Structure formats: C-alpha cells, structure tokens
Structure 1
Amino acid sequence: MKAENQVLIAALLSKTEKSISEALYLKTLSSEQLNFKNHAQEWNALQCLEHLNLYGDFYLPKIEAQILKQKPGKGKLSFKGGMLGNYFANMIQVKGNKVKKYKAMKHMTAESGLLVTLTIERFLKQQELLKVLLKQCLNIDLNKPKVETALSRFIKLNMGDTLRFMVYHTERHMLQALNMVN
C-alpha cells in the first residue's frame, strides 16, 4: 500500500471515530447484553473490547515512544507499507462486513467471566489517545520508526503499518462485539 500521510491518517482517524461511536452505543446497553454469548467458546462484546484494551496497553506506549523520537518531516510525506505490514493489515482487515477468523494469542485473550462496563471506558480512553497519536503522525515519516509487535520483540513493523494494524484490528473486533449484541 502506498499513500500520502494525510490520506492514510484521515482514513485511520475516520475508522477510529466510527469505533468510538460504536463503543458509545455499547455503553448504553445492559451488563447482561454486553456479557451475552451464543456459545461458550465465543467472546461476548466486553471480551472483544477487553481484547482490544490488551492490545492498546501493549502498542500505544510503544507508538507514542517512537513518535516522540521523530523529527518533523519536510514537504509532502508518503507512506509505503512493508511486505509483512501489508500481510498483517490485509489479514485482519474487514472486507464487506466479513472477517476471516484467527485464534488470538493467549496473552491477548480476555478472561472469561463477567466484565464490567469500565472496560468500555478504558477502550474509549485508548481510542482518544490513538486519535492524538494519529494526528501527531501527520508530519513524521511513517516508514522509518519501527514498532515491535505482540508476536515478538524481534518482529517490527514500520509506524504506518503498526497504525493500520491497530485500527483495522479494532474495526474487526468492534464488528464482532456489535454482532454479539444485535
């Protein structure tokens, strides 16, 4: 994928705003609705959000630290996705309200049992921070800073790919959460 920073960031901000709006909708539902499961093996809406919170806990500080190390770029900045970054982004991206299922890493899986609506508040705070970080990325080279992945500290993606992964991953699990309550 190739895109100007402004185009990429605008698209990611739009998807983040949508996720915030969807989370605000979830906040209006009862605890019973948010903890409902059709089957014991699937996640309820709050488990979807808690899974995203665990990813936010991992990635947001790393993204912020890399942004702080960068100097503002000059002129029109462009992003070019890396081979691995494109693979991960395409793998998890929602395509026509459909997602391909993947097994979550154990350390990024929300515990079963009742979760409280504070999970939604935590998610909303993380999404607001993500919006701030996305805006800060408008004027940096998204190809240079490398962010380690949850898979391994040895596997790193460039900033643009990391941001795409975060936003697409959120979009994916928000769709899953909404499907559980509708």
Structure 2
Amino acid sequence: MDRFVVISGCSGGGKSTLLEELRRRGHQVVEEPGRRIVIEELDRGGSALPWVDAPAFARRAMEMSIADRSAAAAAPGLVFFDRGLIDAAAALQHLTGEATLAALKQSHRYNRNVFLTPPWPEIYVADRERRHDLAAAIAEYDRLSAVYPSLGYQVHILPKTCVEKRADLVLSVLKSA
C-alpha cells in the first residue's frame, strides 16, 4: 500500500528517534513489533524472546505486523512503520530456512520507497529489550539491505545526521515519488 512506509535498518541506528520526529510532525506511526513483543514476554515470563526462542519471536512479529497493517488501513495519510512484516519474515527465513519471503513479493506490499538506518556505532546502546550486540545488529542490517531490493523495493540509506534532516529527507523522497 502506497501510504504504508517502512523505516528499517540497523538496531540502534536511530529508527525510533526518527519515527518520533515523524509523529511529532503529525504522521501516524506504528511501533516496532519486536520491542512490543519483548516487553510483553518479559512482563509475563514468556519465552517468545529473540534470545530464548527466536523462531517463536519471529512468528509473533509476523502475526503482529499483519495485525498492524490491518489496523493502519483506517488511518488517513502516510503511516510509518518501525520495521514490519518483511523484517520479521526475513528473520524467520534466516533462522529456519522457511521460504517466508517469497509470498511477500506480491502481497502485503508497502510503499516502494523503504528507508534504512545504517549501523551507527556511536549511538548504539543495548538495553532491557535490545540484548544483542552491534555485530548481530550489523548482520541483520546486511540481510535487510539485500532482502528489500530483492522484493522490488527502492532502498534509501539514511545519512548519519540530526533527526530533523533525516525526517526532511524521508518526506522529500516520498513527496517526489
């Protein structure tokens, strides 16, 4: 769907900060499924965590991403997704070898312009929900950098600059598309 825009890339690369700026500018934002799942699982003592049962975590992220897309259909204007279905499917395929990405070439489409935050070691921070190290985050970024173009998306690597300039760039690309 042309109104659904993915902001993806390296963990700790400034996605959430960018999405908060886009929200501040009046746009709808869908929070990252992975963080929501980790918070829920930690709060209830569950095991669908990336460091406990990564395939179960990825499957939950896919389910949540599909539900997020359905809920976002009612929102007017652009809707920005902090990661989404493709990220979750790419993770599951990497973990299990299941061909989860093939179906996404035709269905559950997002805006053809996808924005990736590159690895940014100077701002990377692990926390309660993000327990993997920078090397794992970079490996995931490398996979996503290949997956999105393979599905026909135009990838835009965001510069390591202030959040206002990043948001301006995203909106400029979308406006000219």
Whether these two folds match at TM > 0.5 is no
Rg (Cα) greater in structure: 1
| Bigger helix fraction | 1
| Bigger strand fraction | 2
